[in-house]
Amino acid sequence: MIEVKNVTKKYGDFTAVDDVSFKVEKGEVFAFLGPNGAGKTTTIKMLTTLLRPNSGEVFLDGHNVTEDPDKTRKSFGIVFQDPSLDNELTAYENMQFHAILYGVPKKEYKERIEKLLELVELTDRRDSYVKNFSGGMKRRLEIARGLLHNPKVLFLDEPTIGLDPQTRNHLWNYIRNLNKEEGVTIFFTTHHMEEVDRIAEKIAIIDHGKIIEYGTPADIRAKAGTDNLEDAFIALTGKDIRKEEGDVGLSQMRVSNKMMN
């Protein structure tokens, strides 16, 4: 479903993603892990046509991502790390806008929006402005929106950041059902290792822009010789907090990212 071949992305002198290759099979739940600033978001942006790699190739649902971005864009849905809703529109209007952008026919989207709003339990708030929503509600709406055009792959970039355990639990249940029932391939990043342990089938760990580990959760635990994934993660990526970790390094990276544009 997703194939990444020798992809490199540089911001000036800084190599954010360094010769990365991996594969995600159809219908898989794939966790893409790594410390802050390791290159997760940059990789997702390259997979979703927002950034062009300096070298290497990316294929998604059979489309070459850099050469055929428009076709690729129909094949995936994405929930970004930070919110991307229009606060001045209602929940329904946000969904409708998305449907129009993706060319979903009116008859179909009317029905589907209702269904999805029900799925994320926002039906009673469909006509409220998004600016009055809580963080969890916005996330749920974003997930519903990401699914509106029947994507084959759903990207979730730290979808549970800042959510309480109840909402997180809820969210992963939806996602798992979705994967089971509709066969949507799930590609997600998170810092909550217990979530990974619970739902991921395959894991790739990226650090300093390179894939350092790839396999099932059990493989990775066995390799690190630890009981749980959290310890395995720390054993594999090291205990110390890296220079480029934390908000400062991350925002610096994003600033230089902006300056490049």
Amino acid at 48: T
Site string for other proteins, 30-49 (x = CB under 8 A): ---------------x--xx
d(CA 200, CA 208) in angstroms, rounded, equals 22
* Of 71, 126, 170, 208, the one binding other proteins by CB under 8 A: 71
DSSP state of 242: P
**Which DSSP string corresponds to 38-57?**
SSHHHHHHHHTTSS--SEEE
Helix axes 229-237, 217-224, angle to 10 degrees: 60
Does residue 83 belong to the site contacting other proteins (CB under 8 A)?
yes
Q: How far is the CB of 52 from other proteins (least distance, A)?
A: 7
* Of 6, 55, 64, 84, the one binding other proteins by CB under 8 A: 84
Does residue 74 belong to the site contacting other proteins (CB under 8 A)?
yes
DSSP β-ladder status, 2-11 and 14-24: antiparallel
Q: How far is the CB of 147 from other proteins (least distance, A)?
A: 14
DSSP β-ladder status, 202-207 and 29-33: parallel
Does residue 132 belong to the site contacting other proteins (CB under 8 A)?
no
Does residue 103 belong to the site contacting other proteins (CB under 8 A)?
yes
Give the footprint of other proteins on residues 149-188 (CB under 8 A): none
What are the tokens at 181?
């029932």
Q: Which of 197, 189, 220 is nearest to 36 (CA)?
A: 189
Q: Interface with other proteins by CB under 8 A: which residues?
A: 45, 48-52, 70-71, 73-74, 76, 78, 80, 82-89, 93, 97-98, 100-103, 145, 258, 260-261
